[in-house]
Structure 1
Amino acid sequence: MVFFTSGARPMWTAQSMLVRIAMSAVVMGAVCVEGGQAQPNRTVRVTAEADPTDAAVGETVHLTVRVDGAPATVVQTPELPSTTHLEPQQRTPQTRQIRASRGGRLRQGVVFSWRLRPRQQGAARIQPLTVVVRGKQYTTAPLRVRVSARTGAPDAPTLTRPDGASSDPSLDVRDLFIRARATDDRVYQNEQVIVEYSLFYRPRIRLRRSRVAGSWDAPGFWREELDVAARPTPQRRRTDGQTYETVVLKRVALFPTRPGTLRVDPLRIETEAQGRMRMQEDGPSLRGRFEPVQIASEGLSLTARSLPEGAPPAFDGAVGQFVVRTTAEADSASVGEAVTLTMQVEGTGNLATLPPPSVESPPDVEVYEPTVETDIERDGSRIRGTKTFAYTLVPRSGGRHDLPTLAFSYFDPDAKRYKTHRAEPPTLYVSGQEGPRAVGRTSDGLPVGDVADAREASEAQWVRTDRRPLYRSAWTYLALLVPALIVGAGVAYRRWRDRPGSSPDETTPALDEDRDRLQEACRHLRRGADASFYDAVGRTLRAFLAERLGRAGPNDVPRTVLDRHLLRHDVPADLRNALYDVLDRCDEARYAPGSASVSPEDVLANAHAVLRRLGPQLPRPDDPAPRS
């Protein structure tokens, strides 16, 4: 009995200890679960940073807001805070998610970034920004940026007057300026970036005699001009709390050819502007005088980054987004019969400098250099188009031949990685055997068998070998001089016909037709109606171009489009320049009467000469279409 009592007490104590340990574990687990659920709210951290904090006017300042301790799915995209002396370059932030492992724990977060540009020297300020995470608000501290002046190209739009011009108080840089915009200021080498120059002017401003002043350049870039309207319709926009009329002056696609910080020149124009001014605060507004001014946009700085390492062997510098299609003309042929293998690359990128992919020649198949065709579209907001490489393959033996694999690699800046397209053309089955070929070669290096077949002895023609050589005959040299004399006479006649003092009675039928086209302009000239005369000359030239080029009507077309049509018909450069000079003279005289630097008689004579020379160059509507 004593043994049982003394033995049972230790057993009861052990059980109670186990129960206490279990209860402690449950309590600790509940505490850990509660702490784990509440931990994210306690560990969320929101910070804001401006880079750089010391910037020059016109440079880019990056505002970065980082949220640590919460996944992107529970973070609301914040609004850009208000700023002082900083102009936003984008309203929607760029977003990047963060996932990292530290100490065995997964850390999540998200980063939001904006691009800002200082507009004036002094202290710039970024107001506090609020981020909502799981319904709870987190507010960052305000940021300051010290902005300094920068020498060289203008960092903000400028308006200047020529030396000696009076200063009109009705005009200042807030009424009339050019704004430059780039789609991005940090790109990869050879990545496309679009720069657009827009003219802003108040609705009360009148402009006339506008023209580009000086030259524009972008060192370190390959440039491709995009089409803009020759006679744009102004669009009304609000900026900086004011209403402006805007037109696009220039749009260009730039491709950086080297890494580093590259500078884009400002665009300058000269114009005559007329504003309004009030003599009294509540009095009516009066128009001022037209005064000459020069307007310049701000300069742009773009940062080009080097392409990442690890490029595939087939990569040859292409950057952008592309779609590749490969086709073979046939899957069967005879020995010596040519087969075309085509690769078509389509997308957005610098197609003009895209080299042809290299092709390894398979055994018993000759591969020739490809023919290249490029079709670039310039009428959109980006440069895009198609480039086609056509390889000619000639099998030299019968049987089965595996055509070469075509590989095209490019870097996708959006995905930030290299991509490779590989095309496996079909197997080529070749029938027949290659025939015997002559061993000898001609003086040009071509096989004799490709030039002439062996002839039988019965087909030979025997000639005397004691005849006098041609180089000893005077008739030979006389025959050589006849074509030169004919060409010289033609040139002399053409110069005589085109001389300024030629008589109207000595005109050709083509010149008579040109005079009929310009009869209306001649009538206006005789009456002294200069504005109607220049309008008639311009309409006559555009109607002629529309008729000969097969366009719907004599509407004006962009100079680049007209250039492509004229180049297609081999119109020489001097004739194109003469045509554009007459059109420019007409536009200048129509919109700025009294400012013409060339007399109407000279404009009429130049129009006659242009029509006379363009007539034989451009096809008539009733001419049969050329056979392909």
Structure 2
Amino acid sequence: MSIHRRTFVTALGASLFAAGRARARELSVRVEADRSRLFVGDTLQYRVEITAEDVGRVPEPILPSALDQAFEVQGPFIGSSSHIVATGSRITRRETRTYTYELVPLRAGVFDLRAFVPGPGGTRIASNPLRVEVVGGAQAMAGAGSASAAPQADPTRDVHGFPKPTEPAGDVFVWAAVDRDEVYVGEQVNYTLDVYERNRFVNVQIRNLPSFKDFWTEELPEGQERRESVGGVPYRVHPGLRRALFPQRAGDLVIGSTEAVVGLRRIVRSPEVVVHVRPLPAKGQPKDFRPHNVGDFGIEATVDRRSVQQGEPLTLTVTVRGTGNVRFVDPDPWPALDGLRRYDPTVEVQTRVDLDGAGRMVIAGARRYKFLLIPERSGRLSIPAHSVTFFDPRTETYRTARTKPIEIEVTAGASGTETGEPGTIEQEGPDGEPMALMPIWTGDHLPRGRVREPWLTPKRWTAGMATVPLLVLAGHAVRLARERVLGPADARAAARARRMRRARLDRLATLVEADDRFYAELSALLHEVAVARIGPDAAGLPRDRLRRRLVDVGVPEDEVDRFDALMDACDAARFGGAAAGTVEERRKLAAEARELLLRGKLGRQVLR
């Protein structure tokens, strides 16, 4: 082999190798995750980013095999972007596509999550290394849950006393339970409804919640999403509903099952819950006992002042506070007051959720009665003790709480006599005696002013109402005549828009001398034609999605490629920093745009 031939072969091989390396550099892939260590059942955000330069179509990623073996995968959620890069006289188009996945690990281990994309010649281009460690199973999950909660005396119940499921029931199930199976009438029992799911991406919707017939209900905090192991199987628990229930009658009260729709067709149901409600004991029950008074209550009474003048009002406040159905607790009958007039009270109720010694959620609060009292005589007056009787389910006994009597000092008024009735308006009559009404009118008739006749008379009303249908018919006739002569309004608007686009296309030939206006006008016209061809919902779409929508509505791919090339030329001239080209080049672009829009399917129906 001669030295010239050997030099030629060496140069040819080097150029082919460089072209292959350059081709490989046109594609790159990068992966990242939101964390590198997590528990079984947790969620991992995993993203694959592919960047391509001057490649017709961005390839799909090749995912790591570990995803099929050890993860539940949801996605991908795809995003893309593109821009023009100008380097000297070279203009390239760079496109980036991002694939986002949500992964739920099913077992422990260390996994390599490196991704790939197809390269030239059947090769694969690898991403950056990414290793993720998954720790725990049922034991680690239980340990993680116990780190943030107090140790439980009963492992079958949660921190609030609700029983936990012991057997797994598939990938999704609904769990309903009460913290007590047997209570008295009026005694609080708590109800919980939770959704257990192994795959957090399942679309679960709860419907037809139980009606809680024969119960008075109060809302309880639903709590936070948590992880829980059921029979060694990890689940995510979504709190659905928590209620405090106060049974209104004795017997076996049934809380019906709740349905949840999984996906589109599958239905799962919670178990029915039965609460055995016992009647209140008859032994020791006071006469006319109020059945809502079940719990633990106290009572107090206060006045806003203890020294007043006769006839001057004061406020008596009686407050019943404690745990139970505070909203309906009733004190015993109000005691009789000597020397004091009492008016009906205003009632205020305040409730809250407390925790008892065992961690159960209980309804607590206060019911407050405010009375207006008017002393009717002077001297030392006494407000007797007030009381409330209730049934304590902890001791199963009836108890009574009482206030202490309140003494008030009433002094005589300024005149030393009793004042009149409160709320009476008194004034002196002609004879100097007090009177509560205006003097009686003694004339034969009341004076009247002249009544002005209204403008809207019955005749005018009738004439106006008869004219309305005639005006409507006349307007309808004018609209029909206009459409018969000029055509429907929608058709006229579409024709007017076509004429305006055609005029803009014709005006391009006059703008080839002005490079700054030519490219902006051509780009705007092409985009407007594309949006008009697809429909108004295409306004604002990025270029790649606009391209796909044009193909979907029947525009041939070769016309879409020509449209894309024209738009790229306009973007390069406007934003790329390169030279805007000569007048002849702009005239050539105008002719190509005219050819595409007038003879192709892209401009059909929107220009012709």
How high is the TM-score relative to the length of structure 2?
Answer: 0.43
Please give the TM-score of this superposition, normalised by the length of structure 1: 0.42
Greater CA radius of gyration, 1 or 2?
A: 2
